[in-house]
């Protein structure tokens, strides 16, 4: 399998907060990789480092053989990385249609964009029903679908998801999880998934990293990790 | 009465156009641009110099006003506001910067163009007088142009790629960045566009009300009023606010004239009461 | 080199009313440069170079006080300005405390009537020119009805009230005396619409700022107003031409000396020098050219006045010198006895002008005593 | 057990939309009651109505028999009904500890003027608040972050801080809106234990939550809302097996995705 | 250690204000500085009020209104009713505080630019009222306000009759400086007590503040009333200093300046408004020799200051402590 994304010894700070302390990880082409870990472990920070929302202090990020850190955010999108940020972040005053159109902001070919739009609509029929509704008035679950659809509109090769199940009702969480599997399988999009719902994350991913205070504590095949005792006690919690 | 309404509409069109640029900048970066009026004045003086002094055609002059102000606005965003926003803890800090640039423009304009009221030859002669309405043709031309520009601006914001990017930016900067929108660049474009609108209105109106170096401040204040009425940061609000203020002045000055000096007192008091009832203006969202 | 004689200016040189103070300052600076270039001014047995110390009070009475304090600090005893009523009134205690004679361009009578004694009115007041103008218009142009309009600020409102009283005293019918506008108004059509509907014979723009005058005239004319328009303050022909063009023909205002019929050669040279120095002349300076000469001439008449304002006050009563700016043998002297009970006004010729195609023409010349 | 809160035929409309529609239920003293339901069902709106942040269109909320709906929020808080926010709402520019100290407002015995001049009572209050804040932070495992500016906290800790703020007011009824969102199992586990201890402190807890294992574990009773209406009420076991609830909200279990 | 340092600082400040400045003035003979510094002291009191409203999260551009009101209260009471200035001073403050409660009740609900705008309009409304009302004597204002008289307690003259002084400017300087010191001491105490924290909570999130039981309406009103009280005091003293008041004595420009003073000094620092006022007002005056370029230089300096210290002058100390 080809390596797609590679972190080598990445360090990142917010002012004086030391958020990532030498993280190394890889995502291969076609893979779904899960990132799990406690609050403040640095999961979101990894995604922010990839998309260029924050600069890294030290280390290197490579993507498809090229250096990624230091690249402007729009260029990163153009190279095929899309992110669904924590907490939905739709453009609330814009319609579903406009939100989706913005997802394709970096693309120019009208025909291809229309094709992507079709695909998103088939994947999330709900969005088609609400095509002209202002995004801000939709329910949480619908908004979550919208931001995933919006991310797909840039036709990414790598999709980054930050806690897509946050605040979403169980039934919808199931829908979203299935969509992620389908996107990865059908559209050959690699996925890097940050989830608190570790059980779900480990089920739908091939490999996983567990983070702890800015460092990788554990990594391996998800199927193995799900039975790993340390993971069980730390992240799956067994019986509550 | 027809005359009063016509006055109000005309004034409204003019006001709405003034308010547009201000609300755009506010919506995009939460900056209340105290220098808006000064930008308007500068636009007026550029048109005055090109059309009034050099004798080039009026449209050329107005376009030149727009372009010059766009450049100035862009530079201001890039070298002043961006730095300050990035480094300050409270976004209100930009108010001091905006005020300082307003003073700076005042000083520059006064030094270059002098203290006198300036005017240019009429662009169209003659007066329309029918249906109980008297309206000079040049005002009609300006009102129509203003209306067209407002329409053009709305369409631009709604359907163009740039417009869409700017609206996205105004709603959520981070999400916009994740869409691959060059946030810095579009903020700069937005500021430039806002400044350009100010310059263009200044240029257009110099043909009717002339221009003078001291009116920047008062114009800004008036423009603030309009965007408050309509709702700050919302394009529709600016337009509505402009027309409402225009109408209020026109009607108020006629209806209340018997009570003399209190006309403006009443208008302002009404504004305060209105905002107390609708704290976010007509269609605005809360801010801060 | 000559010793320096500092003369102060405290007034408004920025903001919407900048033209008022600027025309003052520039008149003074033009004259000072002229005197200094020609060897200075001889007062008593010393020759002085004139230095003008300026302070922009931004039309704020608090700042005007500040300015007057600065003048006192600089050891100045003669100050031109302030340009508005409240500023002129606010500086009074400072001027009295620090022995400063000042020349306001503001009309409140309290400034000039006893016990006040340090202020000298620098121009013709509206209660002096107004009645003369209205009387002339009543007699010569058949004016019967008058409407007043003023900005809702101190000066214009006071002048309006003065004007209304004068018009009533003359038996004119005042059809509008309450219409006001915000000073930031740029489009006067809504303000004027109801007044034009009343169709008065005369529309008086009370205390109008030079910036607003052409706009008011233009709006009124475009709304179809056909009567006369006048004001009691000085205006600039160029501003009116640019702002209202031929619509302003017939507009009546008060001037000082520069209309060709009466201007002397010295006045013409003054205008030339002013234009050379600042790029453009301002007709308001026709009235504002006088103050500095009054100060210097009075000192020449009594050199002790140079740092003793009591000597200056003594000289006022008898002072007389030729008026260099007007043809013929008119005189510079102090007047104001009728209005103020003491001589606290400089005698600027009361030239009532009529605007015509880019220039002022003299309608009549009056005088004040 | 006594009834502490009574929700009586509560309805709230926003324009044409009925967000909460004729909902009634009782809450007993020292009970942990969960409100669940699909996104947009009206759960947060219901909480806002109970804590008097919104006025009901009709119906009322009684607290110990006294009507509290329609009062100002700070008065409801004074009486003992306090809510935390679904959105991570905190005082961003204060440190974690300052956040909690400020939240002791209702416990102060000194008046504002007293604080100004620094009377003995005021100083005592300050000391007491500090001690209590430290205790609460310890209780929620936030001690390490005590001097961090709240705006720098990661998502999960913000929720904990939200709860800490709620606790500091010393409420009788605490309404927690999605307290476990953004926590992993381990953290949720601790938080659940914490909520239980709240009850041991004598509090009545209402919570809205989408984390089903946690809800089922912690709740004495559950109220289910759908489209603004109550569709079920009962013990966790009842609810888990209620077909209407499964259909509207829970979904059938799907081993392939671990849910 | 920290405490002694602070006490030393306070002592140094008091000595500077009450001893060093008058000494320097008498040595250099720059008597005009008295009026300038009196103005700075008074304006900084009004700015302190504005600062307090910033502290609860309101951009206040209405302080000019209250300064004007305060000035008129004093002028009317002294000139029309013969009340002694010393009584009118608190009366002016209280009048403004009460007025601000009435006005504040409806408008304090507004936030952000909306409150800013309405308060700006309030300034203009007050000016227009001053022009229109009979008691304010309309356009010509109230002039010839007598200087403050003596205060004696048990036959002991504590404050001399200002009119008998050789230079009342000095007396006014001491008066203004004293008021300023009192005002800022009070503000310091306010902000550093628990009330400060509660105000801060209001600034950051009113909804949350009310959920923890803070009566936000009440607190907002109190802060606004204190702010207006300070505005009134400042205006009233100004009326006494300049012995006159006009509708234009405090205008929109002043309101904006009060706000700018706060920004320049630093919104995060109690003494920000004092330093901001000193810099802006004194700075402007220092530049008066530059004639027509005064505004250009002044505004350029302001822009540069803003670029270098966007969080206010006082953030300078902060940066050093950190780095
Ligand atoms: N904007 C910020 N400023 C300062 N510090 C920050 C900021 N954002 C995050 N941090 C800090 O960086 C560290 C990592 O945070 P991050 O958001 O990556 O955690 P996370 O694993 O995503 O946590 P969660 O599961 O709670 O979302 C935390 O200690 C946090 O306090
Ligand atoms: N202030 C408001 N104005 C208009 N509509 C509102 C308002 N607040 C809530 N709503 C609407 O009321 C409905 C219920 O919203 P509410 O926030 O109570 O849902 P919820 O059950 O808490 O959902 P979630 O689980 O996603 O948080 C939604 O459709 C929402 O859009
Ligand atoms: C009385 C005024 C309106 C005159 C004006 N102040 C001037 O300087 O010309
Ligand atoms: Mg995170
Ligand atoms: Mg909710």
Q: What is the pLDDT of residue D258?
A: 65
B44: confidence class by pLDDT, cuts 50, 70, 90: very high
Q: What is the pLDDT of residue C183?
A: 82
The reply to whether ligand 2 has any atom less than 6 angstroms from the CB of D69 is no
> Is B231 strand, coil or helix?
coil
Residues 6+ apart with CB under 8 A from B247: B5, B8, B9, B11, B12
CA distances from C182 to B7, C188, C299, E187 (A): 17, 10, 43, 37
* CB pair distance less than 8 Å for C178 and B259: yes
The reply to whether ligand 3 has any atom less than 6 angstroms from the CB of C103 is no
* Model pLDDT for residues C326-356, shown as the tens digit of each residue: 888 888 899 989 999 999 999 888 889 899 9
In this complex, whether C and D touch, counting 3 or more CB pairs under 8 angstroms, is no
Decide if pLDDT at C258 tops 70: no
Decide if pLDDT at D254 tops 80: no
Taking CA–CA distances from B225, the nearest residue in chain E reads: E117
Q: If you measure from the C-alpha of residue D44 to the centroid of ligand 2, how many angstroms do you get, rounded to a whole number?
A: 7
E321: confidence class by pLDDT, cuts 50, 70, 90: very low
Geometric angle at alpha carbon A157, from A155 and A162, rounded to 5°: 90
Q: What is the pLDDT of residue E142?
A: 93
What's the fold here for domain D1-80+171-259? Rossmann fold (3.40.50)
Q: Which atom of ligand 2 is nearest to the CA of D210?
A: 25
Q: What is the pLDDT of residue B287?
A: 40
| pLDDT-above-90 percentage for chain E | 54
Decide if pLDDT at A239 tops 60: no
Decide if pLDDT at A229 tops 70: yes
* Model pLDDT for residues C154-182, shown as the tens digit of each residue: 889 999 999 999 999 999 999 998 889 98
Contacts of E292 in chain B (CB under 8 A): 110-111
* CB pair distance less than 8 Å for C186 and B219: yes
Q: Per-residue pLDDT averaged across C52-78, rounded? A: 92
Query: Mean pLDDT over all residues of chain A?
Result: 89
Q: Per-residue pLDDT averaged across C77-84, rounded? A: 93
What is the C-alpha to C-alpha distance for residues A76 and A54, in angstroms, rounded to an integer?
13
B198-235: b (≥16 Cβ within 10 Å) or e: bbbbbbbbbbbbbbbbbbbbbbbbbbbbbbbbbbbbbb
Contacts of B187 in chain A (CB under 8 A): none
CA distances from A57 to A43, A83, B123 (A): 17, 21, 60
The reply to whether ligand 3 has any atom less than 6 angstroms from the CB of C181 is no
* CB pair distance less than 8 Å for D101 and E214: no
What's the fold here for domain A3-234? Rossmann fold (3.40.50)
> Is E154 strand, coil or helix?
coil
> Is D118 strand, coil or helix?
coil
* CB pair distance less than 8 Å for D122 and E194: yes
Helix (H) or strand (E) holding E273: helix E272-277
* Model pLDDT for residues D118-138, shown as the tens digit of each residue: 788 888 888 899 999 999 998
The reply to whether ligand 2 has any atom less than 6 angstroms from the CB of D52 is no
Q: Per-residue pLDDT averaged across E186-211, rounded? A: 89
Query: Mean pLDDT over all residues of chain C?
Result: 91
Check CB contact of E194 with chain D, cutoff 8 Å: yes
Decide if pLDDT at A104 tops 90: yes
What is the C-alpha to C-alpha distance for residues B14 and B144, in angstroms, rounded to an integer?
10
Give the chains touching E; criterion: ≥3 Cβ pairs < 8 Å: B, C, D
E runs forming strands in C139-218: 145-151, 173-181, 202-206
Taking CA–CA distances from C61, the nearest residue in chain E reads: E249
* CB pair distance less than 8 Å for B269 and E125: yes
**Domain coordinates in residue numbering, chain D:** 1-80+171-259, 87-170
φ and ψ of E245, to 5 deg: -145, 145
Q: What is the pLDDT of residue A237?
A: 54
Which residues make up the environment of ion ligand 5, defined by Cβ < 5 Å?
D 44, 86
| pLDDT-above-90 percentage for chain C | 63
**Domain coordinates in residue numbering, chain B:** 2-215
CA distances from D71 to D76, D108, D167, E194, E222 (A): 7, 21, 21, 26, 21
Check CB contact of E110 with chain D, cutoff 8 Å: no
* CB pair distance less than 8 Å for A170 and D184: no
Contacts of A154 in chain B (CB under 8 A): 179-180
* Model pLDDT for residues B73-107, shown as the tens digit of each residue: 999 999 999 999 888 887 778 888 999 999 999 99
The reply to whether ligand 3 has any atom less than 6 angstroms from the CB of C81 is no
Q: What is the pLDDT of residue D1?
A: 60
Determine contact, residues C153/C183, Cβ cutoff 8 Å.
yes
Residues 6+ apart with CB under 8 A from E204: D91, D92, D93, D94, E57
Of C332, C276, C365, nearest in space to C30 by CA: C276
Q: What is the pLDDT of residue D87?
A: 66
Geometric angle at alpha carbon E53, from E47 and E59, rounded to 5°: 90
How far separated are the first and last CA of chain D, in Å rounded? 36
C362: confidence class by pLDDT, cuts 50, 70, 90: confident
What is the C-alpha to C-alpha distance for residues D147 and D97, in angstroms, rounded to an integer?
6
Determine contact, residues A22/A215, Cβ cutoff 8 Å.
yes
D110: confidence class by pLDDT, cuts 50, 70, 90: confident
D158: confidence class by pLDDT, cuts 50, 70, 90: confident
- CB atoms under 10 Å from CB of C265, counted, come to 10
Interface confidence, given as ipTM, is: 0.90
D186, D210, D254: residue with CB nearest A168: D210
Q: What is the pLDDT of residue B53?
A: 87
B175, B181, B182: residue with CB nearest A85: B175
Q: What is the pLDDT of residue B266?
A: 85
Environment class of B155 (CB within 10 Å of its CB; exposed 0-12, middle 13-18, buried 19+): exposed
More confident residue, D252 or D70: D70
E318: confidence class by pLDDT, cuts 50, 70, 90: low
* CB pair distance less than 8 Å for E288 and C90: no
* Model pLDDT for residues E121-158, shown as the tens digit of each residue: 899 999 999 988 888 888 888 988 999 988 888 877 88
**Domain coordinates in residue numbering, chain A:** 3-234
Q: What is the pLDDT of residue B93?
A: 82
| pLDDT-above-90 percentage for chain D | 39
Determine contact, residues D143/D134, Cβ cutoff 8 Å.
yes
Q: What is the pLDDT of residue E4?
A: 86
* DSSP annotation string for E101-114: HHHHHHHTT--HHH
């Amino acid at each position: 399998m080809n390596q797609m994304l590679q972190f080598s010894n990445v360090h990142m700070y917010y002012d004086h907060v030391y958020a990532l302390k030498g993280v190394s990880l890889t995502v291969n082409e076609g893979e779904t990789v899960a990132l799990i870990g406690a609050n403040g472990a640095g999961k979101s920070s990894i995604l922010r480092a990839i998309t260029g929302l924050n600069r890294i202090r030290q280390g290197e990020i490579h993507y498809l053989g090229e250096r990624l850190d230091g690249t402007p955010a729009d260029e990163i999108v153009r190279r095929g990385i899309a992110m669904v940020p924590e907490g939905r972040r739709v453009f609330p005053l814009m319609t579903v249609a406009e939100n989706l159109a913005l997802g394709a902001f970096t693309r120019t070919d009208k025909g291809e964009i229309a094709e992507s739009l079709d695909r998103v609509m088939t994947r999330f029929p709900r969005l088609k029903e609400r095509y002209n509704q202002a995004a801000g008035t939709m329910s949480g679950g619908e908004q979550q679908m919208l931001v995933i659809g919006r991310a797909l509109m840039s036709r990414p090769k790598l999709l980054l998801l930050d806690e897509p199940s946050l605040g979403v009702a169980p039934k919808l969480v199931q829908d979203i999880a299935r969509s992620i599997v389908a996107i990865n399988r059908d559209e050959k999009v690699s996925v890097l998934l940050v989830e608190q719902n570790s059980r779900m994350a480990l089920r739908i991913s091939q490999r996983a990293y567990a983070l702890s205070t800015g460092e990788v504590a554990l990594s391996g095949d998800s199927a193995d990790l799900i039975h790993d005792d340390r993971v069980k006690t730390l992240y799956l919690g067994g019986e509550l | 009465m027809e005359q009063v309404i016509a006055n109000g509409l005309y004034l409204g069109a003019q006001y709405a156009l003034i308010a547009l640029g201000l609300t755009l900048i506010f919506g995009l970066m939460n900056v209340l641009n105290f220098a808006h009026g000064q930008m308007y004045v500068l636009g007026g003086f550029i048109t005055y110099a090109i059309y009034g002094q050099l004798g080039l055609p009026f449209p050329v002059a107005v376009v030149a006003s727009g372009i010059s102000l766009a450049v100035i606005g862009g530079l201001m965003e890039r070298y002043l506001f961006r730095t300050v926003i990035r480094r300050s803890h409270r976004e209100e800090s930009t108010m001091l910067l905006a005020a300082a640039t307003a003073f700076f423009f005042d000083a520059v304009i006064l030094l270059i163009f002098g203290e006198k009221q300036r005017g240019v030859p009429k662009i169209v002669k003659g007066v329309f007088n029918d249906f109980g309405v008297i309206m000079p043709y040049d005002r009609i031309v300006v009102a129509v142009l203003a209306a067209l520009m407002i329409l053009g601006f709305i369409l631009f914001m709604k359907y163009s790629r740039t417009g869409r990017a700017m609206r996205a930016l105004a709603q959520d900067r981070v999400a916009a960045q994740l869409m691959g929108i060059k946030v810095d660049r579009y903020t700069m474009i937005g500021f430039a566009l806002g400044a350009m609108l100010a310059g263009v209105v200044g240029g257009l109106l110099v043909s009717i009300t002339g221009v003078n170096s001291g009116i920047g401040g008062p114009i800004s204040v008036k423009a603030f009023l309009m965007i408050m009425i309509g709702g700050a940061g919302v394009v529709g609000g600016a337009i509505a606010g402009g027309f409402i203020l225009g109408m209020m002045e026109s009607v108020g000055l006629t209806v209340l004239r018997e009570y003399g000096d209190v006309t403006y007192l009443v208008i302002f008091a009404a504004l305060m009461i209105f905002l107390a009832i609708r704290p976010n203006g007509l269609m605005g969202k809360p801010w801060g | 080199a000559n010793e320096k004689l500092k003369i102060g200016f405290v007034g408004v040189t920025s903001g919407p009313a900048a033209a008022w103070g600027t025309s003052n300052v520039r008149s003074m600076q033009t004259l000072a440069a002229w005197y200094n270039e020609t060897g200075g001014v001889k007062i008593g047995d010393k020759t002085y170079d004139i230095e003008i110390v300026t302070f922009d009070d931004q039309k704020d009475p608090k700042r005007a006080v500040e300015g007057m304090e600065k003048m006192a600090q600089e050891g100045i005893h003669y100050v031109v300005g302030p340009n508005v009523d409240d500023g002129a009134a606010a500086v009074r205690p400072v001027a009295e405390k620090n022995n400063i004679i000042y020349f306001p361009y503001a009309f409140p009578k309290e400034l000039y009537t006893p016990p006040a004694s340090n202020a000298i009115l620098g121009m013709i007041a509206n209660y002096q020119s107004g009645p003369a103008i209205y009387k002339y218009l009543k007699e010569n142009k058949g004016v019967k009805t008058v409407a007043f309009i003023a900005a809702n600020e101190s000066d214009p409102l006071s002048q309006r009230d003065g004007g209304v009283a004068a018009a009533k005293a003359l038996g004119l019918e005042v059809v509008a005396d309450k219409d006001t506008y915000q000073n930031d108004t740029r489009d006067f059509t809504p303000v004027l619409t109801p007044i034009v509907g009343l169709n008065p014979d005369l529309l008086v723009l009370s205390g109008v700022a030079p910036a607003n005058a052409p706009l008011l005239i233009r709006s009124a004319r475009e709304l179809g107003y056909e009567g006369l328009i006048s004001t009691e303050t000085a205006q600039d022909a160029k501003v009116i031409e640019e702002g209202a063009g031929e619509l302003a023909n017939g507009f009546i205002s008060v001037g000082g000396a520069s209309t060709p019929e009466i201007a002397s050669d010295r006045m013409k040279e003054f205008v030339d020098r002013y234009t050379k120095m600042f790029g453009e002349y301002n007709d308001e300076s026709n009235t504002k050219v006088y103050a500095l000469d009054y100060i210097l001439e009075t000192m020449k008449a009594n050199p002790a006045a140079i740092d003793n304002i009591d000597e200056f006050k003594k000289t006022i009563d008898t002072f007389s010198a030729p008026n260099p700016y007007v043809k013929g043998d008119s005189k510079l002297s102090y007047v104001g006895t009728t209005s103020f009970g003491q001589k606290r006004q400089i005698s600027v010729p009361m030239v009532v002008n009529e605007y015509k195609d880019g220039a002022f023409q003299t309608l009549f010349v009056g005088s004040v005593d | 057990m006594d009834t502490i809160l009574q929700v009586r035929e509560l309805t709230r409309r926003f324009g044409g939309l009925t967000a909460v529609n004729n909902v009634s239920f009782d809450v007993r003293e020292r009970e942990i009651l969960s409100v669940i339901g699909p996104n947009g069902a009206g759960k947060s709106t219901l909480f806002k109505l109970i804590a008097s942040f919104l006025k009901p269109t009709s119906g009322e909320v009684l607290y110990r028999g006294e009507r509290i709906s329609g009062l100002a929020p700070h008065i409801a808080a004074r009486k003992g009904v306090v809510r935390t926010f679904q959105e991570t709402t905190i005082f961003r520019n204060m440190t974690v500890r300052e956040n909690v100290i400020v939240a002791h407002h209702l416990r102060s015995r000194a008046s504002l003027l007293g604080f100004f001049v620094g009377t003995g009572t005021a100083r005592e209050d300050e000391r007491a608040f500090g001690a209590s804040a430290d205790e609460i932070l310890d209780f929620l495992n936030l001690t390490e972050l005590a001097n961090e500016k709240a705006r720098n906290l990661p998502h999960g800790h913000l929720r904990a801080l939200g709860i800490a703020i709620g606790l500091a007011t010393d409420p009788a009824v605490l309404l927690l809106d999605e307290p476990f969102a953004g926590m992993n199992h381990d953290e949720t586990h601790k938080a659940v234990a914490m909520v239980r201890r709240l009850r041991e402190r004598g509090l009545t807890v209402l919570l809205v939550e989408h984390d089903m294992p946690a809800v089922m574990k912690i709740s004495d009773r559950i109220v289910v809302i759908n489209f603004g209406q109550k569709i079920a009420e009962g013990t966790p076991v009842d609810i888990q097996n209620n077909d209407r609830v499964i259909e509207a909200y829970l979904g059938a279990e799907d081993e392939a995705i671990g849910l | 250690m920290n405490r002694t340092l602070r006490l030393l600082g306070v002592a140094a400040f008091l000595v500077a204000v009450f001893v060093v400045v008058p000494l320097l003035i008498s040595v250099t003979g720059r008597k005009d500085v008295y009026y300038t510094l009196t103005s700075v002291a008074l304006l900084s009191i009004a700015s302190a009020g504005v600062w307090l409203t910033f502290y609860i999260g309101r951009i206040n551009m209405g302080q000019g209104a209250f300064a004007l009101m305060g000035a008129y209260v004093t002028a009317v009471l002294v000139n029309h009713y013969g009340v002694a200035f010393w009584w009118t001073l608190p009366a002016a403050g209280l009048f403004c505080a009460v007025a601000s409660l009435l006005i504040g009740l409806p408008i304090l609900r507004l936030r952000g630019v909306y409150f800013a705008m309405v308060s700006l309009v309030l300034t203009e409304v007050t000016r227009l009222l001053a022009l229109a009302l009979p008691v304010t004597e309309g356009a010509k204002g109230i002039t010839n306000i007598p200087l403050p008289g003596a205060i004696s307690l048990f036959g002991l003259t504590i404050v001399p009759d200002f009119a008998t002084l050789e230079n009342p400017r000095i007396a006014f300087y001491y008066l203004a400086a004293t008021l300023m010191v009192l005002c800022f001491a009070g503000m310091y105490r306010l902000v550093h007590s628990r009330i400060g924290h509660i105000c801060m909570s209001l600034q950051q999130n009113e909804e949350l503040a009310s959920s923890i039981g803070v009566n936000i309406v009440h607190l907002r009103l109190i802060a606004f009333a204190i702010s207006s009280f300070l505005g009134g005091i400042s205006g009233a003293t100004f009326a006494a200093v300049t012995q006159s008041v006009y509708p234009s004595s405090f205008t929109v420009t002043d309101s904006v300046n009060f706000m700018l003073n706060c920004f320049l000094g630093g919104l995060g620092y109690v003494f920000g408004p004092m330093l901001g006022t000193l810099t802006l007002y004194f700075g402007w005056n220092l530049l008066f020799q530059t004639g027509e370029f005064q505004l250009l230089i002044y505004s350029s300096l302001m822009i540069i200051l803003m670029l270098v210290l966007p969080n206010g002058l006082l953030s300078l100390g902060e940066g050093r402590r950190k780095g």
